[in-house]
Structure 1
């Protein structure tokens, strides 16, 4: 059960991030100083950095909240389920729920958020790659419990690269103005194909 103190921390963290993303989307990531974000969120600059170690984390914590998810999915899979099947199922569930991490979400703020992360600020992309590397290491570690370390590392890299390609493709189609139901059908077909290729490799 989450205590009151932790709930308060979560509220403050979310308020800071929401203020930051709102300002960044309005004016650009590089154009808004951290001091302005702190003022908009009603906290001091030192308090802001207690919650977010870097300016980039103000944006990327919404992705970072998924850190460790691939490893968790494999670790918590049902008895007898293969790791790749668990990861495939989880990704398809994300598509069905229009999880922004899958790229299949056409809310204007989500589309703008992806554009900001991937195309407008190199420092955001560099920080995101650090998160991705940690996820890859975590997945490789849990996969190595049932295979050798090289196979686990290769498979982890292939799976996460596949998911990134699929998510970017989904976002791109939506950003072009294609309707969500149409993109969703393609996204599911592409995911099924991609995971079938991984299974066959």
Structure 2
């Protein structure tokens, strides 16, 4: 079968590669010296591009650090949109989270050295504020997705409550995992602790929460 997916042109590929190179170089500088200590001019020089080129790809320095913000914000909503027939919103989001912990995914925070990334965030007030804004937008988008998927009235509190709790659980597990690794736990130990916490969370919430927004099958 012939693929109908659009081919990436040479211009698009070069732009993508330039963006990735700038981001990778900036991340290395941030982790090595701290976010506030690094200037855009230094990043541009290290990447062998102009300052204007950096700003063309990344409007702010915070955008350079959180270069995958949109992907992160949309992840829980995507999991809900892609859930299988008979699967609830919580099944989709928490099930994916469990799989990522077991697979030692970067999104679960159980990788060796990932604590350095979080230390960089906590050392820069603007990054911490951006992270909190991303978490708010994640819950907001998931609320909209749940309302669309269920057809619930906009005044119904369930989409907002379920979205807020799912994002809260994900954030708590992520923070706990990165702190555990920073404290000396191996990724395997941190993952086991995170899975235990996830089991506890699922045991505390109601059946109504766990079975909300089941996709008809």
Instruction: State if a TM-score over 0.5 links the two structures.
Output: yes
Q: Retained in 2: the 8 A contact 1:56–1:127? A: yes
Contiguous gaps of at least 5 residues in structure 2: 1-5, 210-217
How do residues 151-190 of structure 1 correspond to structure 2 at under 5 angstroms?
A: 151-190=158-197
SS of the residue 2:67 aligns to: helix
Match of 2:15 among 9, 30, 45: 9
Note closer, same or farther for the CA distance 1:2–1:160 as it changes in structure 2 (3 Å cut). farther
Give the structure with higher Rg (CA).
Answer: 2
Q: Distance in 2 between matches of 1:125 and 1:195?
A: 28
Greater helix share, structure number: 1
Give the TM-score, by structure 1 length.
0.91
1:114 aligns to 2:122 (yes or no): no
Q: Structure 1 residues 15, 175: CA separation in 2 closer, same or farther (over 3 Å shift)?
A: same
| Superposition deviation, residue 40 in structure 1 | 0.8
Q: Does 1:124 align with 2:127?
A: yes
In structure 1, stretches of 5+ residues that fail to align are none
Distance of aligned partners of 1:156 and 1:2 in 2 relative to their CA distance in 1, 3 Å threshold: farther
Residue 3 of structure 2 is matched in structure 1 by none
Instruction: Give the Cα separation in 2 of the matches to 1:96 and 1:152.
Output: 28
Greater relative contact order: 1 or 2 (C-alpha under 8 angstroms, separation 6 or more)? 2
Distance in 2 (CA, whole Å) between partners of 1:6 and 1:67 is 24
- Distance (whole Å) between structure 1 residues aligned to residue 186 and residue 49 of structure 2: 40
Q: Distance in 1 between matches of 2:97 and 2:69?
A: 15
After superposing the two structures, state which structure 1 stretch, 152-161 or 94-103, moved more: 94-103
